[in-house]
Chain A
Amino acid sequence: MTAETTPARAGQPNQGRPSPSRARRGKLLRHAVGVAAFLLVWELAARAGLLPWLPAASASLARVAELAFDPAFAGDLLSTLTAAAAGLPLAVLVAVPIGLLLGTVPAVEETTRAIVEFLRPIPSVALIPLALFFFQPEINAKVALIVYAASWPILINTLYGVRDVDPVATETLRSFGFGSAAVIWRVSLPSAAPFIYTGIRLAASITLILAISVEYFVGGSGGIGAFLIQASTGIGADAMLDVIATLVWAGLVGLAVNVLLLRAERRLFRWRHA
């Protein structure tokens, strides 16, 4: 289910394969080479004046470092992360029970399928005006929209995870006289946990997208989305530098969150990859 498996796993013979730590170091090295090459092309392109509006990589990265010590930016970053971090657990609390219900009671799933299939493709960003209308102050609208958007992947993954539960496992517990509630709690939920977790990981990146989008839409109320608006309304090379440095920060945060969640996933679900 996760795409992040090393290609060496795909049924190749064990002989001649480098040790895991060596393979890991090799992989990290290649990642670093890729990033370095990208930065070099960027730097050269900017210096050669191929893209006149583009600040050089070195200047941009310097600005990225500076921003970390800029209280205004740090406050905005914190406010974005707080909204995302508040929204994710709420989304889990909303989506997992609903997913369990839909996954275990087919009648409910069939009754709600049309509405789910209708709501799901609506881009959450398009709901920003509606959210601002219903939820005030804006921080509430931001969190509400994050919860809504982040709930979808968790809900869908829970639903399929629960459906995928092995009937032999369920029957085993039933054969010891356990009732439906115990089966859901002790078999369906733990068995679906890796699916649910993947849903949460997908949802985590969605929380950032929604937080920044709402901030950008509203403007003046904080968050790196608001910072981005202010930067982009400025004039000249400095404004572009701020915009690009903010993007780099958004990317770094997203990357860090994903790496942390992937590590935790490997730890939590070691039993699954055996």
Chain B
Amino acid sequence: MLEIDNLTHVYGPGSPNEHHAIDGLKLSVAAGELLCVVGPSGCGKSTLLRSIAGLIKPTGGEIRVDGKLVRQTPDNLAVVFQDYSRSLFPWMSVADNVALPLRRRGMDKRQRREAAQEALESVGLAEAGRKYPFQLSGGMQQRVAIARALAYRPSLMLMDEPFGSVDAQTREDLEDLVLKVRGHHRMTIVLITHDIDESVYVGDRVVVLSKAPAHVVGDLKVDLPAPRDQITTREHPDFVRLRGEVGRLVRGVDAPAATA
């Protein structure tokens, strides 16, 4: 579904503040997979996401979505940004925010309104359409951003630290929301996070990036029983083992020698 080959990106090449963000990154994501990408802060996770979305042109390597080389934003892709307060348009009602991207789908006004309402219902905000973003809490605003992505019916949804700006309780609710909606909509999700527990809880697979310049240092399959549950899943021995493994990979330390 998504193929990344030898991706390299250097910001301001040749300038005094040249920054080598990504170096020779290889990654392949299967259709329908929920991949979490973790890595230390500032490691180039967002650069990776922006390259996939066609928002920046990487200095080297190739990205293919559904076999097609990414030159500009792919048609079947939606992004959920961390900063919902900046990515929702404050001058538009919630329903209009969700409906706006559907203009790209050639839908008429009535179809757009219905699709927006349906998406809002699926994130539990059936009543919020007429409100404005500033009238909603942070967690609700991020639900709106997720609804906007869902309404667009992408085959690939990119999420850039989508729960980084909400409180812990809301965060758990939103994690479960993502797990729920991916069951209803068949799509591939790439979720970027710096939260190790979250990556294991939400992901089918966790890819760990190194410090900048980023490359893949670990690729783990998460085989936890479904449906996942905030309490029992996190108690599961495999969860505990995986979060340890991911944590060590993120920090770049070896596993402790087995003590008998």
- B87 shortest CB reach to chain A, Å: 4
Contacts of A171-201 to chain B: CB distance below 8 A: 171-178, 186-187, 190-191, 193
Whether B134 pairs with A172 at a CB distance below 8 angstroms is no
Whether A176 pairs with B86 at a CB distance below 8 angstroms is no
* A169 in the interface (beta carbon within 8 A): yes
Of B53, B89, B90, B100, which one neighbours A175 at CB under 8 angstroms?
Answer: B53
CA distance A59 to B124 in the complex (A): 68
Whether A175 pairs with B135 at a CB distance below 8 angstroms is no
* B31 in the interface (beta carbon within 8 A): no
- A220 shortest CB reach to chain B, Å: 48
Whether A174 pairs with B55 at a CB distance below 8 angstroms is yes
Whether A175 pairs with B91 at a CB distance below 8 angstroms is no
Interface size on B, residues (CB 8 A): 28
Interface 1/0 per residue, B101-128 and A, CB below 8 Å: 1001000000000000000000000000
CB contacts (< 8 Å) of A272 on chain B: these are 90
CA distance A35 to B100 in the complex (A): 50
Whether B86 pairs with A271 at a CB distance below 8 angstroms is no
- A270 shortest CB reach to chain B, Å: 8
Q: Tell me the interface secondary structure of chain A in the complex.
A: helix
CB contacts (< 8 Å) of A169 on chain B: these are 86-87, 89
CB contacts (< 8 Å) of B101 on chain A: these are 173, 176, 178
CA distance A171 to B55 in the complex (A): 7
Tally of A-B Cβ pairs under 8 angstroms: 62
CA distance A171 to B86 in the complex (A): 10
**Size bracket, chain A contacts:** 20 to 34
Of A168, A173, A269, which one neighbours B86 at CB under 8 angstroms?
Answer: A168
CB contacts (< 8 Å) of A166 on chain B: these are 86
Whether B73 pairs with A177 at a CB distance below 8 angstroms is yes
CA distance A272 to B101 in the complex (A): 22
* B25 in the interface (beta carbon within 8 A): no
Contacts A175-B53, A191-B91 given; does A186 touch B100 at CB 8 Å: yes
Whether A271 pairs with B90 at a CB distance below 8 angstroms is yes
Closest to B132 in A: A271
Whether A168 pairs with B83 at a CB distance below 8 angstroms is yes
CA distance A231 to B244 in the complex (A): 90
Closest to A178 in B: B104
Whether B135 pairs with A274 at a CB distance below 8 angstroms is yes
CB contacts (< 8 Å) of A271 on chain B: these are 90-91, 132-134
Whether B134 pairs with A274 at a CB distance below 8 angstroms is yes
Closest to B158 in A: A175
* B21 in the interface (beta carbon within 8 A): no
CA distance A173 to B104 in the complex (A): 11
CB contacts (< 8 Å) of A171 on chain B: these are 50, 55, 79, 81, 87
Whether B75 pairs with A172 at a CB distance below 8 angstroms is no
- B45 shortest CB reach to chain A, Å: 16
Whether A176 pairs with B87 at a CB distance below 8 angstroms is no
CB contacts (< 8 Å) of A174 on chain B: these are 55, 73
Knowing that A166-B86, A193-B91 touch, tell me 14 more A-B residue pairs with CB under 8 angstroms: A169-B89, A171-B50, A171-B87, A172-B81, A175-B77, A176-B100, A176-B101, A177-B73, A178-B104, A186-B89, A190-B91, A269-B91, A271-B133, A274-B132
Give me the interface of B with A, judged by CB distance under 8 Å: 50, 53-55, 72-75, 77-79, 81, 83, 86-87, 89-92, 100-101, 104, 132-135, 152, 158
Give me the interface of A with B, judged by CB distance under 8 Å: 166, 168-169, 171-178, 186-187, 190-191, 193, 269, 271-272, 274
Query: 5 closest pairs, A vs B, by CB?
Result: A274-B134, A176-B101, A168-B86, A175-B79, A172-B87
